[in-house]
Each structure stands twice: as C-alpha cells, then as structure tokens.
C-alpha cells in the first residue's frame, strides 16, 4: 500500500493498516496442513520459510523468521559481517528493582535463522549499538562508549574507551542515538526533556520559555570526533537544532549525508483546549523524516509541522492559534510527514541485493506506536518503507511490516524499535515488549 502526503490524501487516509488477506491465506493453508500456532502465536510456516512468524504481515514473497524472543529491554541492533546480531538493552524495572541492561550478541550456528548461541555483557543499559572499524559504539543515556571487538568474536577484546561523557540525561527522552560519518564524525541525538519547553511542564495554557533554554544543550544533533577520547558536550558542535527527539538517526551511504525521523510534540488539545480539539491532536503534528544539514533548524519548540496543510505553524505556547505561521516561515521542512504520534525509533537505508530492486536505496523506519491518539485508536506499530526518489525521498511511503498489534486488544504483542540490514541483505527488526528479534527474508513471489 502506497501513501501520499496527507494534504493530497485527506484526513481519513492519514493512517493505514496493511491488508490481512495474505496473512489469513497463509495461516489457513498451514492450519489445513496440520501446522498450527503454538502458545506464543508463532507457526512453523514451511510454505513461507522455516520458523516463519505468521503474525507479521509483509508484502508478498517476504517472511519474518523469529531469531529469538528472549532479549528483554531490546532497543537498536546492528549486524556483524559474519551475521552475529548485536542488540542494545535498556535498563528496566522488574519486581520493583532495576535490572541493568547492556549488550546481547546472538549467533545462528546451524543456519536455520534462529539464534542458538548468546553472549551478554556490559554494566549499564543503553539505546544504540554501532559496529565500525573493529569497534562497537554503545550509547548509555549519558555517554558514548567504544568497545574493542575482534572480527568474529561475541565478546569485547577489552574494557571500553569513553568517547563522550556527561551528556544531558535528566527528564524525558534521555536515550541517545548515534550515527557515524565517513569523515570520522560521530553524531549524537540529545532529545528534549520536555514536550514544548513550557514554563510549567505539561500544565494547560502555560506559556513557553522564550528563548527556550533547552536548545543550548538538548533538542538537537551534536557532532563529535568518533576517535577522540574524553570528550564532553563542550567539545562537540551543535550540528542542527529544533529537533525535539530524533531517535531514528543514520548517515545514508549513497550520499554521506545525515538523516533522521523526529518525534513531534504531544497533547495539543489537553494543553490548549480553546485552540485545538481531540481530532486536531490525533492528526497533528507530523513525525518528520528529514535530511539534517549543518546549521539546520527544524523549529521546535516554537513550531510544529501540520500535515493537513504542509506548513510549519507557530505553537500555542508562543502565541499560535492553529493557523499562524509567524516565525516558522524559514524553518527547515520534512521530506515526508508521517502520521502524528507514531514514535519513529530507528532508520536503516537498504543497500543490499536480496530484496527486489525497488527497495535498493530506500529507507526502512521502525515505528514504536502511539499513546497520544486517544480517544481515537492508537496506531503506528509497524515498519514502513520509503522508496528513494530522484536521489532523495518523498512524498510516497508504504507499510512494510505490520501485525505487531491486534486492533481489538489494548496492548501490542510487539512494538518495533530497531531495524538493521545484515551482510546478506536480510532485514532485522527488534521490538521492546517481549524482546523479540526477527529476520525478514525474501523468498520470491
């Protein structure tokens, strides 16, 4: 299913759900063959691929194999040249105690697509893992660490170096995302701790602080050296600003430029009931897929993107009335405006050859799913694909992987959080509810 900008599709088409026809057909075919789901809902889908997970809806010819279902706190992932899957694990609460996260490494030794060896290490949880040049970069909330890693090893070769320390991590949106540039740059997302930089946080009709002091140290992308040790925030350069929280961050191999998908603000109707209603809040603001150039300003907290008009509007905290553009007229714009509150959490550019030609050069984005579309249905628990267009992106996009949440249930059995390509062109997806990892393979139509 292909999507166009909201202004050309209308509000009723602002979100979509992939057709279940193919999934149901596969399910009943397997059931008739005497192959039924187990208690976890998985099925040995031999018609699709060994170990296929029938819950995950994909385009024709694709199959999601369950690599593992036991990595609690799973976040971003990366895949080594030998196929080992490295998973960042967040710290989590269990039985009123903090369980430290770290790094998990998964290995498939018999080629059946399912991990049968595992290593866990690290002393603190984090959001990001990146493999590069014999190192593993790992991002706890307040630092960037670099572990030495020998080729083919599941364990680090020594203690980590601290590349950057003392990063801001108080309040909300503390998780750090990383991207590595070809010139040795290390890009770090530092999310805002607030919704809209209000004088009194999340208090109805509280005005915004002007200028917003958060922009000095947060709500932007900072650039550091990937090789220098002992850096702090003051050693970095604020590369771009006005990005509330860009958990999905990646350098595109084709052009060497930085891209991201921004989490928009929440609670327009709850904070400003005289200006916005429930329907406004359900549809606004966009989750923005952006090219991030040096010096770019995407406008937060003063501005938000309205997918219905394609404009950046002045926020009510700074005098906006739902129509006014004002100081937002010169802010940088998105390439694609995704539906509101879907929570984009990872981004991967497809450079492999195992998927059909149309996927090459395109972008896969993992959306964690909404919480702020109520009382309307929560949406966005999916992986989408944005094909490249004339070397760039937009406006079209499509649902690629769905079925992570049953619309009749309050909760999702899975919430996509990480996406990465393996050396063989297979796409890996992680999720945060049960710690499942899938590998999506193309078996042909």
Higher pLDDT, 270 or 44: 270
User: Is residue 10 one of the residues assigned to a domain?
Assistant: no
User: Is residue 43 one of the residues assigned to a domain?
Assistant: no
Residues of the domain holding 135: 64-442
Residue 423's nearest CA partner among 356, 354, 337 is 354
Q: What percent of the chain has pLDDT over 90?
A: 83
Instruction: Identify the pLDDT of residue 36.
Output: 34
Considering the chain, what is the average pLDDT of its residues?
Answer: 89
pLDDT by residue (tens digit) across 156-208? 999 999 999 999 999 999 999 999 999 999 999 999 999 999 999 999 999 99
Distance CA 86, CA 397 (A): 28
Instruction: Identify the pLDDT of residue 28.
Output: 30
The model's pTM is 0.90
User: Is residue 284 one of the residues assigned to a domain?
Assistant: yes
* Per-residue pLDDT band at 445 (split at 50, 70, 90): low
Q: What letter does residue 13 receive in the DSSP assignment?
A: G
Residue 167's nearest CA partner among 243, 236, 91 is 236
User: Is residue 22 one of the residues assigned to a domain?
Assistant: no
User: Is residue 326 one of the residues assigned to a domain?
Assistant: yes
Q: What CATH number is associated with residue 147?
A: 2.120.10.30
User: Is residue 279 one of the residues assigned to a domain?
Assistant: yes
Element (H, E) at 30: helix 21-32
pLDDT at 385 over 50: yes
Say how many domains are in the chain. 1
Instruction: Identify the pLDDT of residue 332.
Output: 98
pLDDT at 408 over 90: no
pLDDT by residue (tens digit) across 117-168? 999 999 999 999 999 999 999 999 999 999 999 999 999 999 999 999 999 9
pLDDT by residue (tens digit) across 211-229? 999 999 999 999 999 999 9
* Per-residue pLDDT band at 341 (split at 50, 70, 90): very high
User: Is residue 418 one of the residues assigned to a domain?
Assistant: yes
E strands, 175-232, in order: 177-180, 185-190, 220-225
* Per-residue pLDDT band at 78 (split at 50, 70, 90): very high
Distance CA 109, CA 342 (A): 36
User: Is residue 265 one of the residues assigned to a domain?
Assistant: yes
Higher pLDDT, 11 or 242: 242
């Amino acid at each position: 299913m292909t999507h166009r900008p909201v202004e050309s599709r209308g509000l009723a088409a602002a979100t979509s759900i992939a057709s279940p026809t193919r999934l149901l057909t596969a399910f009943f075919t397997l059931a008739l063959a005497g192959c039924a789901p187990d208690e976890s809902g998985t099925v040995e889908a031999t018609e699709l691929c060994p170990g296929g997970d029938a819950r995950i809806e994909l385009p024709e010819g694709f199959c999601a194999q369950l690599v593992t279902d036991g990595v609690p706190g799973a976040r971003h992932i990366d895949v080594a040249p030998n196929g080992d899957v490295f998973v960042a694990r967040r710290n989590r609460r269990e039985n009123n105690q903090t369980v430290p996260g770290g790094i998990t490494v998964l290995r498939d030794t018999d080629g059946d697509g399912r991990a049968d060896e595992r290593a866990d290490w690290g002393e603190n949880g984090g959001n990001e893992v990146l493999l590069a040049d014999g190192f593993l970069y790992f991002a706890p909330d307040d630092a960037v660490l670099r572990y030495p890693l020998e080729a083919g090893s599941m364990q680090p070769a020594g203690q980590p170096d601290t590349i950057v320390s003392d990063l801001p991590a108080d309040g909300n949106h503390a998780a750090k995302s990383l991207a590595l540039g070809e010139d040795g740059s290390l890009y770090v997302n530092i999310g805002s701790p607030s919704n809209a930089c209000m004088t009194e946080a999340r208090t109805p009709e509280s005005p915004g602080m002007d200028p917003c002091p958060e922009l000095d140290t947060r709500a932007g992308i900072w650039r550091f050296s990937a090789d220098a040790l002992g850096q702090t925030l003051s050693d970095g350069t604020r590369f771009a600003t006005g990005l509330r929280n860009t958990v999905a961050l990646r350098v595109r191999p084709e052009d060497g430029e930085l891209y991201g998908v921004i989490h928009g603000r929440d609670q327009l109707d709850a904070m400003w009931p005289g200006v916005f209603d429930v329907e406004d809040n359900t549809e606004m603001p966009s989750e923005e897929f952006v090219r991030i150039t040096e010096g770019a300003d995407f406008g937060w907290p003063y501005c938000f993107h309205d997918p219905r008009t394609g404009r950046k509007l002045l926020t009510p905290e700074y005098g906006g009335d739902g129509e006014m553009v004002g100081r937002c007229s010169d802010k940088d714009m998105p390439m694609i405006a995704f539906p509101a509150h879907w929570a984009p959490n990872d981004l991967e550019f497809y450079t492999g050859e195992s998927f059909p030609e149309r996927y090459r050069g395109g972008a896969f984005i993992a959306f964690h799913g909404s919480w702020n579309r109520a009382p309307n249905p929560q949406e966005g628990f999916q992986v989408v694909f944005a094909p490249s267009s004339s070397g760039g992106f937009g406006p079209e996009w499509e649902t690629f992987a769905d079925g992570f949440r049953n619309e009749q249930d309050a909760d999702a059995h899975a919430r996509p959080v990480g996406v990465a390509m393996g050396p063989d062109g297979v796409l890996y997806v992680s999720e945060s509810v049960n710690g499942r990892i899938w590998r999506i393979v193309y078996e042909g139509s």
